Every structure is written in C-alpha cells, then in structure tokens.
Amino acid sequence: MHVRRTAYYRCPAQGLRKEHMSYIYVKLRQRCQAIVDGLSLPHPFTVESFCTRLAAQRQRPLHLHALPRQAAQAGACGLWLATDIDDHIFFEQRTARVHQDHIILHEIGHMLFGHQSLELGEGWGDAPQLFGDLSPQLIQRLLARTDYTTRREQEAEMLASLIRTRGEQPAGERHADDVLHYLGEALGVGATRGG
C-alpha cells in the first residue's frame, strides 16, 4: 500500500496563489499556537515528561504503546485511541527516537484539537482486534496517522512541531522569541527564532 506523504505546509490544490497559501499557513499556525500557549511544558522537555504533565492537566491518564504490527502494515505510524476514561497513543517503535517522539506529539495534536473521526482505510480489517483487552464499546475515538493532506493532519503536524520547538527553547527565551517571530511574520521579514 502506497501512502502519499505531503508536508503540512503544502496545499495540493492547483491554482492557489502564493498569497493565499501564506494566509492558510498563517491561520493554521495561529490555531496551533493558541493551543501551545495554553500548555504547561516541562523544563527540561522530554516527550515522556510532557505526557505525564498533560495527563495531569487533562485529568485523564495517557498511555503510550507500541503500534500493533497490523496497523503498521496498513501504513500507519501513529494512532490515538480515546476511551471513556483514558487516552492511548500507539507509535511505531522501529524508527529513530526523534521520529517516535514526533509521532507521539502528532497524536497528542489530534487529542488537543479534539479531532473526532474514524480514519481506518483499506488493510485495517477488524480494527478492534488490534487492541486486545480494549473492548470495541470502550473505544470512543480512533485516529490513525496515514495521510498528511487533510486539515486535521495539518493541524496535528503543525502542533507537534510547535510543541517540540517551544519545549526545546530555554525557559527564559520562550516569550520574547515568540514576540519577535510574530512581529517578523506580520512585517513579512521572516524573523528567525533564536537569532
């Protein structure tokens, strides 16, 4: 199964002007930045410490698991599953650590945006069997990461990148650096972070 991968900042639609693309990107970034600004990120930042803090903030346990082989074979590298009482993120473990972290943050992006849809395409078969002891009745939401072209995927991808970027900034530089970045965007001069 071939999965088309498109960077989150590209729009596959033909005929869109560069100005329109920039507007779409800016609006996407603003939606994501608003969520990041409401998060309490640990310092020093690790994905594990962030997951612990996020679970406490949301008052919902968050569990990390290896992605089931069948899901990986169907083209997914990450998956978020919500039950009545907790959240489960499944991620591909046969990849570099930095990629694993990004997959987890991407699935957290779906969770924080509250994306609600079942996105299981061909090759998934009987999806509930993938999760062993979780009954199909417990599963409220199941999102699998296989395609980057939808608005949901663009939001989750951008949010993952912004969380990582903010988390890796030294604590004292976070606010001032964001102000410079936004000023540069507004003026169209492309201010760079940390520079």
Q: What is the pLDDT of residues 83-104, one digit of tens each?
A: 889 999 999 999 999 999 999 9
pTM equals 0.69
Name the range with the highest mean pLDDT among 70-74, 124-128, 143-147, 159-163: 159-163
pLDDT tens by residue, 41-78: 999 999 999 999 999 999 999 999 998 887 777 777 88
Enumerate the β-bridge partners of residue 145.
Answer: 78
Residue 44 lies in a domain: yes
Indicate whether 164 belongs to any domain. Answer: yes
Contacts of 4 (CB under 8 A, 6+ apart): 147, 149
Q: Is 11 helix (H, G, I), strand (E, B) or coil?
A: coil
Domain count, the chain: 1
Q: Give the separation between CA 108 and CA 88, rounded to whole angstroms.
A: 10
Examine residue 8 and state whether it is found in any structural domain, yes or no: no
Query: Are residues 144 and 79 in contact, defined by beta-carbon separation less than 8 angstroms?
Result: yes
Q: Is residue 171 included in any domain, yes or no?
A: yes
Whether 6 is in a domain gets the answer no
In a domain, 113, yes or no: yes
Range of the domain at 96: 18-120+133-187
Residue 85 domain flag:
yes
Q: Does any domain span residue 7?
A: no
